[in-house]
Amino acid sequence: MNEIIDAYSTPGTERETCLTATELLKLMDSAGIHRAVVAPEDREIAVNNTSGNDRILRMAGQSSGRLIPACTANPWLGRSACQELRRSAAAGARMLVLAPALQGFCFGDELPAELLAASAELRVPVYVHSGPHSFGSPTQLLLAAAEHPGARFILGHCGSTDYAADMPAVLASAPDNVWFELSLVRPWAAAAYAKAGHRDRLIFGSSAPRNCPAFELRMLDALLPVQDYPDIFGGNFAALLAEVQS
Partner 1 sequence: MIVDCHTHWADCFQSRDGLDPSRWLADEARHGVTHALVLPYLGLLDDRLLRQENDDLAAVCAASAGRMIPFCTVNPFRKVEAVAEFRRAIEVLKMRGLKIHPWLQGVSINSDAMDELCEMAGHWKMPVLFHDGTPCYSLPSQAAMLARRHPKTTMVLGHCGLFEHWREAIAAMRGAENLWGCLCGPHLAALSEIVRRCDCQRLLWGSDFGFSFADVAGYRLGLLQSLRLNDSDYERITAENPKRLLGPVFSN
* Residues near partner 1, by CB under 8 A: 16-17, 131-134, 157, 160-162, 184, 186-188, 207, 209-212, 215, 219
> CA dist 77 to 67, 69, 105, 106, 229, Å?
27, 21, 12, 15, 40
- Residues forming a β-bridge with 156: 129
d(CA 1, CA 3): 7
Q: For residues 50 and 211, which CB has a smaller minimum distance to partner 1 in the complex?
A: 211
Q: For residues 80 and 211, which CB has a smaller minimum distance to partner 1 in the complex?
A: 211
Q: For residues 16 and 147, which CB has a smaller minimum distance to partner 1 in the complex?
A: 16
Q: For residues 168 and 175, which CB has a smaller minimum distance to partner 1 in the complex?
A: 168
Q: For residues 43 and 87, which CB has a smaller minimum distance to partner 1 in the complex?
A: 43
Is residue 168 classed as helix, strand or coil in its secondary structure? helix
Minimum Å distance from CB 197 to partner 1?
19
Minimum Å distance from CB 94 to partner 1?
25
Minimum Å distance from CB 82 to partner 1?
29
Buried b (16+ CB within 10 A) or exposed e, 8-23: bbbbbeeeebebebee
d(CA 79, CA 82): 5
d(CA 153, CA 195): 22
Sequence-separated (6 or more) residues with CB below 8 Å from residue 53: 40, 44, 69, 71, 72, 84, 87, 88, 91, 93
